[in-house]
Amino acid sequence: MVEKDAGEVSGKALRLEGVAASEGAAVGPVFVHALEEFEPERETIPEGSVEEEISRFEAAVEAVVPQLSETAEKMREAGNEDEAAIFDAHIELAQDPELADGVAERVRNLESPESAVLAVGEQYAQMFEGMEDEYMAARADDVRDVARQIAVEISGHKAAGLEALREPAVILARSLAPSDTARVPKGMALGFLTAEGSKTSHVSIMARSMGIPAVVGVGQKLEKAFEAETVALDGTEGYAIADPDPDTLAEFERKEQRIASEREALEEYRHVEARTGDGRRIEVAANLGSAKEAADALEWGAEGVGLFRTEFLFMERDELPSEEEQYEVYREVAEAFGEKPVVIRTLDVGGDKDLPGVEQPEEENPFLGWRGIRMCLDVPELFKPQLRALLRASAHGNLKMMFPMVADAEEVRRAREVLEECRRELEDEGAEAGSPEVGVMVETPAAALCAADLAKEVSFFSVGTNDLVQYTLAADRGNERLRHLQNAGHLAVLKLIGLTCEAAKEAGIWVGVCGEAAADPDLIPRLVGLGVTELSMSASSIPRAKKIVSEL
């Protein structure tokens, strides 16, 4: 959506445009969450206090982890698995040995532990922010949140803010961390309106999980609404109106009634098979970032997993994950879905990210560089343990694998040769292994244009619309000025998807879409019309997608 200038709507009303992060509409009084950035009171420590200060850091971690665990448990008890998974990830971050080592090294150089943990956390956050995968990039705020909580604990300060809410309100903030939203008393948040954020940032995920409308990424214009008494917020269209007039209030009341009716109607679509009016079967699956998200996806009616990201297994570590560690994770998600298909993407980390034991070159443009299948083919010690783990896990469910960032058929043939080498090794060792289908991500224009050749080498295609859009339109998906070009409905993008579907039909293989477009109500009919047979998305979007498909 193109961000418009904030301006007068009528009288003193002010309209703010942003990203539609969580569907729904809400009207309520304004609560401004203006928590200041935490600034350590000291930057250095005396020479003789190093071990004492390291112990203070360790004690702070020991204090923060139970708080995170308690919050995660409360989320699970309330049935909010998505939120619980966020706090599970925060626990892992807080206990990460590499974080502790980085802090200890800085403290030994006489930096205060609170300053050190913020600095190390910021290093990790910037690493995530530079990642091409939008879901992974959005985890940067999670890292900062954990580092901040530990720093606050070391300093002895007490967090305050959102727990002070005593009446339901629309919460306005520059940004919201999981630890912020977790402190909101139940029923007190009518909606979230933030200056920062994207559809995959934690506040968006939590808002969708909680069923709270949210608009994020409105920019500095948000400050103009801080003095408002009331805000009307539309999380479906992605805008908010501060101090709405009576006509706007009446309009939003009608919206709320309509949305409530729609949500009730969607419930019947959770666990039905999606079929078009003429009987064509369209599989509606979930995108997952960890095995912990499987139960929630199934509850929303996921008919499988169209994209399982494996990057979390490789990030923030002193050494690469072992074959056994990967096997346990892949097996867990495969068993959770039983006969339902689970598509696991092999490692999609670029040359801009440090991987332990992997020498990576500096690149001027790493997103057009050594990443995805290109890196894996060059580093067998990175690729083979993952392939072996996937082969072993495929014996426990309907697991499939796909290779990212493919540009031509030769890359696929080379990858399959490595896969067969791994299979022979497992056979010689007497290890159980399955025969998973192999597919590729169609996220480069080259892959779409060469789809007929690629189709001879694989069993399926999965279109990654997020990357396909930016590579086709030469528009960096992180560039706010180019938001109007970040559109999977662009004719050029649809033509490439059409070519992919034609090649797949000719070869007798299936095509899925695992980018944001898969859940777009306006694009679903066009994708199905082009020949797409699987749509994979955030779990909460599944019922609506099934309804749209059934009405085609």
User: What is the tens place of the pLDDT at every residue in 332-341?
Assistant: 999 999 999 9
Rg (C-alpha) for the chain, rounded Å, is 24
Facing residues of 193 across strands? 172, 215
Structure tokens at 351: 């040359």
Q: 121 or 334: which carries more pLDDT confidence? A: 334
Please give the pLDDT value at position 170: 93
- DSSP state string for 428-443: HHT-------EEEEE-
Q: What is the mean pLDDT of residues 527-543?
A: 93
Instruction: Please report where in the chains the tokens 């919206």 appear, as a residue.
Output: 255
- 302-313 pLDDT, tens digit per residue, is 999 999 999 878
Beta strand 14-17 with 19-22 is unpaired
140-155 vs 81-94: helix axis angle to the nearest 10?
60
Local confidence band at 411 (pLDDT 50, 70, 90 cut-offs): very high
Please give the pLDDT value at position 339: 95
Structure tokens at 530: 């082009």
Q: How many residues does the chain have?
A: 552
- Cα gap 324→314, rounded to integer Å: 13
Question: Which domains occur in the chain, in start order?
Answer: 7-35+161-253 (3.50.30.10), 48-155 (1.10.274.10), 275-550 (3.20.20.60)
CB 515 within 8 A of CB 497: no
Please give the pLDDT value at position 1: 30
- 235-286 pLDDT, tens digit per residue, is 989 999 999 999 999 999 999 888 888 888 888 899 999 999 999 999 999 9
Structure tokens at 356: 């332990």
Q: Which of 35-44, 192-201, 290-299 has the highest mean pLDDT?
A: 290-299
Q: How many C-beta atoms surround the C-beta of residue 156 within 10 A?
A: 10
50-77 vs 140-155: helix axis angle to the nearest 10?
120
Please give the pLDDT value at position 479: 66
Residue 7 pLDDT exceeds 70: no
> Residues 68-77: contacts with CB within 8 Å, 24+ apart?
68/94, 71/179, 71/182, 75/182
Q: 413 or 37: which carries more pLDDT confidence? A: 413
Task: Kindly state the helix (H) or strand (E) to which residue 254 belongs, with its residue range.
Answer: helix 246-266
Q: What is the mean pLDDT of residues 506-517?
A: 92
Please give the pLDDT value at position 227: 85
Q: What is the mean pLDDT of the chain?
A: 85
Structure tokens at 507: 């070869």
CB 18 within 8 A of CB 204: no
140-155 vs 113-129: helix axis angle to the nearest 10?
180
Q: Residue 537: which of 313, 346, 283 has the closest Cα?
A: 283
Active site residues: 202, 514
- Cα gap 432→426, rounded to integer Å: 7
Please give the pLDDT value at position 223: 85
CB 511 within 8 A of CB 504: yes
Task: Kindly state the helix (H) or strand (E) to which residue 344 belongs, with its residue range.
Answer: strand 341-345
- Cα gap 338→336, rounded to integer Å: 6
- Cα gap 70→449, rounded to integer Å: 51
Please give the pLDDT value at position 121: 85
Q: Which of 112-116, 302-306, 355-359, 387-391 has the lowest mean pLDDT?
A: 355-359
- 44-96 pLDDT, tens digit per residue, is 888 888 889 899 899 888 888 887 887 777 767 655 666 677 777 788 888 88
Please give the pLDDT value at position 10: 45
Whole-model pTM: value is 0.69
Q: Residue 137: which of 536, 467, 469, 379 has the closest Cα?
A: 467
Please give the pLDDT value at position 205: 73
- Cα gap 438→476, rounded to integer Å: 29
- DSSP state string for 86-114: HHHHHHHHHT-HHHHHHHHHHHHTTB-HH
Please give the pLDDT value at position 424: 96
Structure tokens at 229: 């008494």
Structure tokens at 338: 């039983």
Burial 359-388 (b: 16+ CB within 10 A, else e): ebeeeeebbebbbbbbbbbebeebbbbbbb
CB 464 within 8 A of CB 404: yes
What counts of helices (H) and strands (E) characterise the chain? 20, 17
- Cα gap 243→235, rounded to integer Å: 17
CB 455 within 8 A of CB 506: yes
- 187-198 pLDDT, tens digit per residue, is 889 999 998 887
249 to 27, 142, 253, 486, 503: CA distances (angstroms): 8, 35, 6, 32, 51
CB 462 within 8 A of CB 512: yes
Percent of the chain with pLDDT over 90: 45
Local confidence band at 9 (pLDDT 50, 70, 90 cut-offs): very low
Helix boundaries (H) for 109-245: 113-129, 134-137, 140-155, 178-181, 202-210
CB 136 within 8 A of CB 128: yes
